[in-house]
Amino acid sequence: MMGPYRLQRFPSAAPGIALLARLGAIVLALLISALVLALTGAKPGALALQVVTASFGSQFGLEDLGLLVTPLIFTGLSVALALKIGAWNIGAEGQFYAGAFAASAVGLFLPVAEPLSLFLMLLAGLVGGALWILIPTLARAYAEVNELITTLLMNFVAVLGVYYVSTGPWRAKGANSTTARIPAEIPEFFGSLHWGLPAAVLLALLLALALARSRFGYEVRLAGSNPQAALYAGLPARRRLIAVMLAAGALAGLGGMVEVAGTVHRLQGGLSNSYGYLGIMVAVLARGSLVGVVFSAALMAFILNAGIILQTQGLTTSTVLAVTGLILFLTAIGDELAHYRLVRDARA
């Protein structure tokens, strides 16, 4: 005679179940949103068709999606990599701006040939992002200061600093809040879509492979999942923490460089469009998978693009934000429920 069953949470979810849970959550969120919109007099069917057509039915729509995905992959990787060592990098926004600032300084004021300028801008973006997370990293490693607060506070300094230089010392003649156009540009391969997108995807794959197959990656995973075991095994946990957090900052800074050199072509206030904060959602939805960051970033980019399209159809910003929040909220719940399974209760 079979005994009763109970729900039990498992550390990992089967890939098929996780995918079904996420799809089910998105569908449920869309149905709820459609019902609410219908009650307000809108036509959810027509709006949905407009979103899909505008996003995937033209080259312009695909270009927009690609340009949104690219920075989200970099900031998502930044947050997800820090999570591997058990740290929360809430400062990807500031590191994104710091990388953009450093890359713009090279592009604007270092007169060299374009290929060399792009390479130096890339290095500057990496260094700028790493330097911006240096103080929170050392504070966490040597004084046990919570990196949630320090990385968050650094965001405001970077954002305001970029606003200052783009509206003051570096402001272009005749412009209100931007610098002059940066001569060096990342080449395009599909309309306005540049090679920063395939580079971001490739970087995610290489990082995932390196962490999965290298000794360094094993030590990082061990230090992140069980710090006491890492100390007992004699692993250099502090050095690994510093290396991973600096790499996380460098990734976000690289995202800022790519945004400047590939999409915006100038430094300006509001450059990020909150990509650093959205990168936190991307990393959480990826459930710790660096490869999953690519797919989470694609989902987030589609949601952002859909919000822009819905606003052009007359929906208010508040409505769009509510729909977006509902989709992300139910998706997160679906991801968590995928870890639960019915098991027979041995006590019975």
Q: How far apart are CA 81 and CA 74, in angstroms?
A: 10
pLDDT at 314 over 80: no
Task: Answer whether residue 113 is part of any domain.
Answer: yes
Which of the two residues, 316 and 59, has the higher pLDDT score?
59
Domain assignment of residue 179, given as a range: 58-312
The pTM of the whole model exceeds 0.85:
yes
pLDDT at 265: 94
pLDDT at 11 over 50: yes
Q: What are 59-75's pLDDT values in tens digits?
A: 999 999 999 999 999 99
Q: What are 165-174's pLDDT values in tens digits?
A: 999 999 998 8
Tokens 């569908």 belong to residue: 27
Task: Answer whether residue 7 is part of any domain.
Answer: no
Q: What are 205-248's pLDDT values in tens digits?
A: 999 999 999 999 888 888 887 777 777 777 888 899 999 999 99
Task: Answer whether residue 29 is part of any domain.
Answer: no
pLDDT at 39 over 70: yes
Task: Answer whether residue 16 is part of any domain.
Answer: no
3-state secondary structure the chain: CCCCEEEEECCCCCHHHHHHHHHHHHHHHHHHHHHHHHHCCCCHHHHHHHHHHHHHCCHHHHHHHHHHHHHHHHHHHHHHHHHHCCCCCCCHHHHHHHHHHHHHHHHHHCCCCHHHHHHHHHHHHHHHHHHHCHHHHHHHHHHCCCHHHHHHHHHHHHHHHHHHHHHCCCECCCCCCEECCCCCCCCEEECCEECHHHHHHHHHHHHHHHHHHCHHHHHHHHHHHCHHHHHHCCCCHHHHHHHHHHHHHHHHHHHHHHHHHHHHCCCECCCCCCHHHHHHHHHHHCCCCHHHHHHHHHHHHHHHHHHHHHHHCCCCHHHHHHHHHHHHHHHHHHHHHCCEEEEECCCC
Q: How far apart are CA 101 and CA 161, in angstroms?
A: 9
The whole-chain average pLDDT of the chain stands at 89
* Region 117-142 average pLDDT: 96
pLDDT at 82 over 60: yes
Structural domains counted in the chain: 1
pLDDT at 346: 65
Q: What are 136-165's pLDDT values in tens digits?
A: 999 999 999 999 999 999 999 999 999 999
pLDDT at 345: 67
Most confident of 251-255, 286-290, 303-307: 251-255
Task: Answer whether residue 209 is part of any domain.
Answer: yes
- Assess contact for 220 and 214: CB atoms under 8 A: no
pLDDT category of residue 36 using cuts at 50, 70 and 90: confident
Task: Answer whether residue 39 is part of any domain.
Answer: no
Task: Answer whether residue 70 is part of any domain.
Answer: yes
pLDDT at 1 over 50: no
Q: How far apart are CA 300 and CA 68, in angstroms?
A: 9
Which of the two residues, 197 and 287, has the higher pLDDT score?
197
CATH number for position 190: 1.10.3470
pLDDT at 3 over 60: no
Q: What are 176-214's pLDDT values in tens digits?
A: 889 999 999 999 999 899 999 999 999 999 999 999 999
Task: Answer whether residue 30 is part of any domain.
Answer: no
